[in-house]
Structure 1
Amino acid sequence: MKIGCHISVAKGLEKAVQQAVLLGAESFQVFTKNPRGLKPKKVNQVDADNGVSLLQKHDITLVCHTPYITNMSTPKEDLQEVTIRSIVEDLHIAEAYGAIGAVVHCGKHVGEGEEYGTKRMVETLDLILEQYDGPVKLLLENTAGQGTELGLTIKSLMEIRNATKFPEKIGFCFDTCHAFAAGQWNLDSFDQLIEEMKSTGYLDSLVCIHYNDSKAPFDSHKDRHEKIGKGEIGSEALAKFLTCPDLQHLPVVLETPVDDEKEYAEEIKYLHELRQG
């Protein structure tokens, strides 16, 4: 298990890897581009190559995250086209960075209904993945269920993946806060969660974990991250992910709220302590 955090890539991938080393991160996540925009981004290939070399030197695993504002279930043709272009580009950027996957948020049906939204999301995924044949997997992230978000449950995520033409190109990113807020797990139901991951085949395609406590209560459907042990989930429940034998092969990435990335160094140490018991 490689424990790490989200790090800014504003100064380039090489600087981001150097920051990861300083923080004691064994894995980390970066945005492919501005998380609040879809403006195309040109990769600095020299920086990318230097960054990848550093990743390999320090045996650090990288995960990329696509912008928040894409919507793979949008009923609007122009927005679907922009979403497809942006995510295809994100996959190529993630490949240049040596990432194992590119996390994407599930679609929002924006009032059109779950059945329409799911069908539209599958269609959009097919249009994206027919344009990308590289090694990077597109990772569907479970949601808290705010508004009209899709992808709250393990079952629905597997149904979406299996309905596409390219299930082998799709993996998953499990967010502890989102699943708690969606009413999918808590301290008492952790074992059932892992059993469902196994029985559905979800675990076989799980690529990374977003590791966050929750400001909002269980089943609140509110996406509000909190530092580990400071929120509604608590350290006892979250520690189960760190000690679970079935999850030891995965990178675990903190996305907890910090004023400065340096704060992650202490939190990473805390996770190692939790893992030791």
Structure 2
Amino acid sequence: MAHTHTLIVGPHTSIAKGYLAALKDACAIGASTFQFFTRNPRGGAARALDPEEIAAFSKGLAAHHFGPLLAHAPYTMNMASKTEKTRAFAAETFADDLKRMAQLPCTLYNFHPGSHTGQGAAVGIDEIVDILNGAMTHEQTTTVLLETMSGKGTEIGRSFEELAEIIARVEVPEHMGVCLDTCHVYSAGYDIVHDLDGVLKHFDDVVGLDRLKAVHLNDSKTEFGSHKDRHEKLGAGSIGWDAVGRIVTHPALKGLPFFLETPQSNYTGYRSEIERLRQFAAES
């Protein structure tokens, strides 16, 4: 399958056993990309990079015509926290991850903007912008993606306007983008089931579709506008297969990589979802 295939889709996978093992797992289920955590999702030290392994990994990606990969920051990286220790960890982790990304065959790095933990969204956004501006440079090759959030608790990123404000204040905006999570935006009150065109137009008006670099493709266990982050298997939640099909075949999203974060007990579930998604693409 050529890199110009209609649908670039793959699962969230582990690199605990190494990048080559992750590539093998992705190939086994028919994926053409995958997402991985840069380190333990709950925090901690990052896995050491082996130059020989990374060289072989890069060669394998090319041989199997993989699309763009997506690196994901740990969930514990909260740049917007009112706690200084938490913000310091976030700043250190982010700076270290940017250095690691420069050595990997991956140029997309996604993170949750964070939770303001009671100090207010305006202050939280100030904290996020400070950390981004303290580590990002014009010379970097990594595009940093803000993830759209469901709006639970004190989360920042529940609206396109909040994401746009962060991007506008970053000193290297050419290296900023967005990862749209279907479960999160639906839970946040953007009706991608009945008004996908309208949601994407609103995103374009506020943020710009040129900023959209990746999609987390998940169904939702909860109803529209619930402001809860509960992923479901594709077709088994309140979004449903019909809407999923419209999403992966929408002209405005053509060429973007789609990453599955659905709750699966094993890779067989991902394989079934990928096969169904490719049917949508083939029929469009």
Q: With the length of structure 1 as denominator, give the TM-score of the two structures.
A: 0.95
Counterpart among 103, 116, 119 of residue 96 in structure 1: 103
Deviating runs (4+, > 6 A) in structure 1? Answer: none
| Structure 2 counterparts to residues 101-250 of structure 1, below 5 A | 101-130=108-137, 133-250=139-256
Aligned to 2:92: 85
Change (3 A) 1:172 1:223: same
Deviation, structure 1 residue 141: 0.3
Helix, strand or coil at the partner of 2:90: helix
Residue 76 of structure 2: aligned partner: 69
Shift of residue 18 of structure 1?
A: 1.4
Residue of structure 2 in register with 1:270 after alignment: 276
Distance 1:9 1:16 in 2: 6
**Which letter does structure 2 place at the counterpart of 1:100?**
T
C-alpha deviation, 1:215, in angstroms = 0.4
Q: Distance in 1 between matches of 2:140 and 2:29?
A: 30
Deviation at 1:3, TM superposition (A): 1.5
Matches of 2:46 and 2:261 in 1, distance apart? 24
Counterpart secondary structure, 1:11: coil
Indicate if the aligned counterparts of 2:160 and 2:207 stay in contact, CA closer than 8 A: no
> SS in structure 1 opposite 2:11?
strand
Once the two structures are TM-superposed, the CA of residue 201 in structure 1 deviates from its matched residue by: 4.2
Q: In structure 1, what is the equivalent of residue 36 of structure 2?
A: 30
SS in 2 for 1:9: coil
Shift of 1:186: 3.1
Measured after TM superposition, the shift of residue 134 of structure 1 is 2.3
Q: Distance in 1 between matches of 2:164 and 2:175?
A: 13
The count of residues paired between Structure 1 and Structure 2 equals 276
Tell me the secondary structure at the aligned position of residue 188 of structure 1: coil
CA RMSD of aligned residues (A): 1.5
Which residue of the other structure, out of 255, 258, 261, is the alignment partner of 2:264?
258
- Residue type at the aligned position of 2:121: E
Checking the alignment, whether the CA contact within 8 Å between 1:7 and 1:261 is kept in structure 2 is no
Provide the C-alpha distance between the structure 2 equivalents of 1:100 and 1:173, rounded to a whole number of angstroms: 13
Contact 1:118 1:160 in 2 (8 A): yes
In the other structure, the counterpart of 1:59 is 65
> 64-73 or 194-203, which moves further after superposition?
194-203
Stretch of structure 1 that moved more, 250-259 or 14-23: 14-23
What is the SS of the residue equivalent to 1:195? Answer: helix
Q: Give 1:44 deviation, angstroms.
A: 1.9
Give the secondary structure class of the aligned counterpart of 1:27: coil
| Equivalent-residue separation in structure 2 for 1:105 and 1:119 (angstroms) | 15
TM-score by length of structure 2 reads 0.92
Contact 2:38 2:46 in 1 (8 A): no
Answer yes or no: is the 8 Å Cα contact 1:4–1:25 preserved in 2: yes
CA distance in 2, matches of 1:174, 1:92: 25
- CA 1:39–1:270: 2 relative to 1, 3 Å: same
Aligned to 2:110, the other structure's residue is in SS state strand
* One-letter code aligned to 1:70: M
Q: Which of 4, 8, 12 is matched with 2:14 structurally? A: 8
> Which amino acid is the alignment partner of residue 188 of structure 2?
A
Query: Are 1:46 and 2:46 an aligned pair?
Result: no
Gaps of 5+ in 1: none
| 1:187 to partner: Cα distance | 1.6
CA–CA separation in structure 1 for the residues paired with 2:95 and 2:268:
32
Deviations 1:96-135 (A, max 9, x none): 23113011001211000111111111112111214x8321
Does the aligned pair in 2 maintain the 1:51–1:97 contact within 8 Å? Answer: no
144-153 vs 88-97, greater mean Cα deviation: 88-97
